[in-house]
Chain A
Amino acid sequence: GQQLNQSPQSMFIQEGEDVSMNCTSSSIFNTWLWYKQDPGEGPVLLIALYKAGELTSNGRLTAQFGITRKDSFLNISASIPSDVGIYFCAGHMDSNYQLIWGAGTKLIIKP
């Protein structure tokens, strides 16, 4: 099935470092969503992007909707231990109620 290309697959970083991850697609999306999954829980929405070129922040998180509508990135500044988890990107086309998912980026913070 269709899936977004999300990278990197995993990241080992030091506490306090900035993090960047991105998603690309061969298809155009009208909405990009970024989710975070904590261990043992379901994914929870972090940021939603609705317009090409849009840059949106949520605390230390910043995400952008690519101009071509085929990509998006998520940045986390000054990482802290509670940032560990799996981050998923997802794209939506208005034609249906389904999301297309990336495979996830696993963030691990070294103490």
Chain B
Amino acid sequence: NAGVTQTPKFQVLKTGQSMTLQCAQDMNHNSMYWYRQDPGMGLRLIYYSASEGTTDKGEVPNGYNVSRLNKREFSLRLESAAPSQTSVYFCATWTGPNYGYTFGSGTRLTVV
């Protein structure tokens, strides 16, 4: 099925550990995004990539890095995880102004 695939679906980290969240899309879209979702806070943009080879900070970039490996893949890295980064992370692609984003199913991350 066409869409946005995120891995892993669940992850538990200890404080200070690092990890990379993977995202891949097969819709040939240029723009990709990483959001985090916390209860009562809605969706907050971490980083985005308007096209292959470019990345920009969003609203809450501190503690994260990203890589736009190619047109299909956009990864999010936590270098030294903190409990404040416990959240659900969503990757999305820009489908166009008439349809907005297509989202992956999310990665639920717990930092203990």
Chain A positions within 8 Å of B, measured between CB atoms, are: 1, 3, 6, 9, 30-31, 33, 35, 40-45, 48, 50, 88, 90, 92, 94, 97-99, 101-104
Contact = CB atoms under 8 A, between A and B. Distances in A.
Given A30-B97, A50-B98, A94-B97, A88 B42 contact: yes
Considering residues B97, B103, B105, which has the most beta carbons from chain A within 10 angstroms of its beta carbon? B97
A50 B90 CA distance: 25
Contact of B100 (A6, A30, A33, A40): A33
A88 B43 CA distance: 9
Interface string B57-76: 01100000000000000000
Interface of B: 4, 31, 33, 40-45, 48, 50, 58-59, 90, 92, 94, 97-101, 103-106
Contact of A99 (B41, B90, B100): B100
